[in-house]
Structure 1
């Protein structure tokens, strides 16, 4: 099996540890252990007492009953039995694709988004057609192109909603059109839903729209806990859930006793965490958009309350060279757009700590000024 290098992950693996001002990440500012455990209302004492009494065996293989019930409650059509715990959303995506896609299958993937969603099917021998995001249409795809791409033998349509790194969101009306097209040929629709909007924009899961819908998610982005490494795959179909169960036995035994307990605590206090994160998104979005408005060498199609953005550069060097030089001279880390097949852009994660964002934007502006100097 051959697979392409994972562009964004390879970049971060090489450069994120050397950055002093990281505004490249896609999560909302991470919670500390103290902040999470304090959610128990007893300064973490209740959490740690429970943990100290837990045996470090395999625990609940598919996720504890409490975890499965809490995740089920995020949907209207997904019973707890159809929730399977995974190693983040990357594990959920891999499990679903690995379980269903075979050599010579035809799949359609939204592009460019999260590389996993098209390169894993390619590595399994599938034919992958791209359904293109259009920068000229605020990074939204054209439903007419999907109608042209769909085939009687299309096995799966893979989406990232909201999309990384562009921040565009497919609304319910649009998703219903996708479902109608998929249903016409019996195709599955897998949607990586780790980026939910936090600005009040309505969001609907594919698992609540389609009996062959597959939703993947995790605690990493919207819930500010990427270090927990807990995600899930869900579907309204028990038949599909059982297929995932079988393949999951070959890829993951359990999420771990500690991680499951922490995930349950986070989901039990979902409302408090989301309230905290809405404040961060709103505050940082204003700072960021004000900066874009006054910075002549950038432009932006604003994300819809989502923690990632795709900033367009107006500079005389390619985006990867720009990012390397920026990091070397200022310590500011961005992700080159070419790592997402979007050259001339960068991923800027504006939902980091506010002071980090402000410092990063100031240093970025200073670095951009070198291109304003007249040449002899």
Structure 2
């Protein structure tokens, strides 16, 4: 029985956290001994599986700052993960065979200090250095050693997995010194148990949406600027202009996603989006939700005409997969992970990231109910065939066995 410890910076709610939790549950189902170590775990802001006593979550180092005066987020994240790794190796007494770490690779050299060298599997969601902009010379100077450390320490892993072919290509383009390193693709899976449960909040949608709503579009993403959520608002504006008044009044947009009041960008961007909606004259046409429950999210997916997935060059994105499993067509930007998850014209539409392109796809789904139904069924079949938890579990367990033999 393999003993696996997961190291993750912040066990909140997001795509990376969903993958880590699914991976832990998958390996546990295959008989592995599993623990998750993290620097932050809030029981009120996490996936429910992490509250299961049979899936131990160990939180250390949360007293360390996540930023200094709103700056140095990357440096603080590195220090927190180094602390977690040091605590695990030198003070915990935990025995393990494989460490599964993701997002922050700087802890890998610390893991190498173990008396009995253990295997390290690093899962690259996307190179961290590409997730931040260098808006000043000072920022470039600050990021230079961090970027160098990311590339250097990532290459120290015994095995590197990525979440899509797109990320594999970006990995090779970004980490030039790791050109000879093999990267295998392990697509994120969908843990369908949440989506298969009987609906508990669908009745609540009637009170959530304005009276007379006949068509709901859903944007589901964290409140981050890189997610380009404003595109959904602009697309709704363009759609409303193209519809006759009688039909226009029944169209509604729900913007829902992960929100953490500890994260300054979440707080700021939520306000920015509400201000944009007001400028576009969308009062009464948009509902903003922060960190909706799983059951409400499922109810929204089941009840929406389509999901609007607006990020460009997204490394994978689990939301389109969730939508397709719920028989909800996806309108997504034609770049990054959606090129691999969404079948254009079959399970949804891949569009240029413009309001006009998105609104045309939305209008077609609105006006062709049979197309919408066909796409929904095709999407569910695609998830069952390509992104099932069983396929994910088999592949991941195979990698663990390879590392421990």
**What TM-score, normalized to structure 2?**
0.31
**What TM-score, normalized to structure 1?**
0.33
